[in-house]
Amino acid sequence: MINFADLIISMKNQIPNSITILSLVLACLAIILTFEGEIAIAAYLLIGSCICDFLDGFAARALKVNNPIGKEIDSLVDMIAFGVAPAMLMYRITKIAQETQQIELLIEFPWIHYIVFVIPAISAIRLAKFNIDTRQTSSFIGLAVPAHAAFYIFCSILFVFPDLPQIINVSGIVTPIVSNPLIMLASCVLLSIMLVVEVPMFSLKFKNLKWKDNALPFTFVFLWLGMLILINIVAMPMIIIFYILWSIVLNIKNKSNPISV
């Protein structure tokens, strides 16, 4: 006889895993669409994958599900969604950009485009370190893999749609950057290194709704919202750069009293 109580518990336990698997499916579709030339749709699918990455953890906490298998699945899916898929996006857009710009260095050494594979390579190291590092329970040491991937995802959208409406028009600055294959390839290396550097990144988790206890995350969120209003989604990759620089400055400033991790 079927024990419906056990069945319901079993189904409840699989809800977070189902969301994680949906993230994987979206990432796989994004990879296929990237090589079919549908870069914008691929980027949107990866945004959906990022949302799923947030929702699976939220669902696990809300349902009080503690499933060791779920943690392993999450890391494996993150490797595809935030390691492999963004690398494919970067490979595709740098190849397209090179076709129009014909940069001599990339003509002579076309293998330089393969630098994008530093993204999944170092992401794999980052994910493995995170799984065994007990210091990173409430905040991060080094850039988080989803935030790292988001930089490339939104740069890809800006590459496809360089003329998005903006209150403060920064297209003249941003477009030459995201459409320059050498700059984007260099960013792959520099930002990937930030995944594994021993630099504490301040937490964006709110302890409560009091400004005094959450001055830093509140300030950061308000800055991001202001940028989003003024410069549209250009704010997304820019805020990740600001987050890295801000964390580095805070770490230097507080050397005698390091950021709690």
- The domains of the chain, with CATH numbers, are 4-201 (1.20.120)
CA distance 32 to 94: 17
pLDDT of residue 10: 60
Which of 11, 10, 44 shows the shortest CA–CA distance to 27? 44
pLDDT of residue 138: 59
Mean pLDDT, residues 148-159 taken together: 96
pLDDT digits (tens, 9 = 90+) for 4-34: 555 455 666 788 889 999 999 999 999 999 9
pLDDT of residue 256: 60
The DSSP symbol for 37 reads T
Q: Other C-beta atoms within 10 Å of 254: how many?
A: 12
Q: 3: pLDDT confidence band, cut at 50, 70 and 90?
A: low
- DSSP lists the bridge partners of residue 140 as 201
CA distance 136 to 142: 10
pLDDT of residue 259: 47
- Distances in Å between the Cα of 234 and the Cα atoms of 99, 155, 229, 245 are 24, 8, 10, 17
**Percent of the chain's residues with pLDDT above 70:** 89
pLDDT of residue 88: 96
Name the least confident of 41-50, 64-73, 180-189: 64-73
CA distance 188 to 115: 7
Q: What is the amino acid identity at position 239?
A: I
Model pTM above 0.85 = yes
pLDDT of residue 261: 43
